[in-house]
Structure 1
């Protein structure tokens, strides 16, 4: 089992989830903003997803990290590497809480976790799954070096898949 890392960037700390993070996570998952992730979700479903994000560290050696703004210490979202029965491949995913979009945080957090995954886990590839209407996240993926891969198996029917390789 790998220890849950703490990653730092110029503006962010990516750290292990804690119970104090759950209320904001559940609020996001219950909101219309989670529609690109199959939401809105009821509280028990949000708890299952949050718990899965933590459990993946034990089961797979990777999982979710909370995104904390270094300047304020506030948790502003989550970034993670997902896997398991619901994911055809290891997925790099992110979400930002309301009011934190458009500042480059998703690109910064996603890039740090992607580099960690390729450098520490020695993965050959990662993917991101997107609702076809999620143009903003697809643009983040492109900034991270992701390329659309129409041959990849989607997580959900109709998903758009972007693929990443080490060094890009």
Structure 2
């Protein structure tokens, strides 16, 4: 993540597209989330990475492993900016991040917390081989939890 990523990140978090992530958020809350995503690398040994188009170098979204006081378990999460969906970017990025987290990072399991109305993320979790875990703790009571093993 770099400061160049902030304007698009902020715009997403303040838009209706953030509705599946508890948004839209204020600019201050968006900034806190942006800093949280970056700070986890130093504090936890994992965090968020921006998804970049190899040819154009355009930022397409984000993938990350979240944990800490806001998440009961290590979460594999993702989002794409408008116009980047439907081309396999999130699938490729999530597979790579999951492989790193379960392999090199040595985590035993990951979950994805998904808003029940977010069909695209549910389908992506299922394409990744994750399965619903109705008994898992969750940060929001209505979230679906998909377990990656």
Deviation for aligned residue 1:102: 1.1
By relative contact order (CA 8 Å, sep 6+), the higher-ranking structure is: 1
Deviation for aligned residue 1:71: 1.4
Per the alignment, residue 157 of structure 1 pairs with 141
Per the alignment, residue 126 of structure 1 pairs with 110
Unmatched runs of 5 consecutive residues or more in structure 2: none
Deviation for aligned residue 1:85: 0.7
- Which string of whole-angstrom CA distances, capped at 9 and with x for unpartnered residues, describes residues 10-38 of structure 1? xxxxxxx0001000000000000000000
Unmatched runs of 5 consecutive residues or more in structure 1: 1-16
What is the total number of aligned residue pairs between the two structures? 149
Question: Does 1:76 find its partner at 2:60?
Answer: yes
TM-score if structure 1 supplies the norm length?
Answer: 0.87
Residue 21 of structure 1 aligns to a residue whose secondary structure is helix
Structure 2 CA distance for aligned equivalents of residues 25 and 74 of structure 1: 13
Alignment of 1:132-151 (within 5 A): 132-151=116-135
Residue 146 of structure 2 aligns to a residue whose secondary structure is strand
Per the alignment, residue 3 of structure 2 pairs with 19
Deviation for aligned residue 1:42: 0.8
Root mean square deviation, CA, Å: 0.6
Per the alignment, residue 51 of structure 2 pairs with 67
- Which string of whole-angstrom CA distances, capped at 9 and with x for unpartnered residues, describes residues 76-122 of structure 1? 10000001111000000000001111111111100000001111111
Question: Does 1:51 find its partner at 2:35?
Answer: yes
Structure 2 CA distance for aligned equivalents of residues 135 and 162 of structure 1: 13
Structure 2 CA distance for aligned equivalents of residues 47 and 18 of structure 1: 13
Residue 47 of structure 1 aligns to a residue whose secondary structure is helix
- Which string of whole-angstrom CA distances, capped at 9 and with x for unpartnered residues, describes residues 28-62 of structure 1? 00000000000001111000000000110011100
Structure 2 CA distance for aligned equivalents of residues 138 and 105 of structure 1: 16
Equivalent of 1:93, from 77, 85, 106?
Answer: 77
Structure 1 CA distance for aligned equivalents of residues 142 and 24 of structure 2: 19
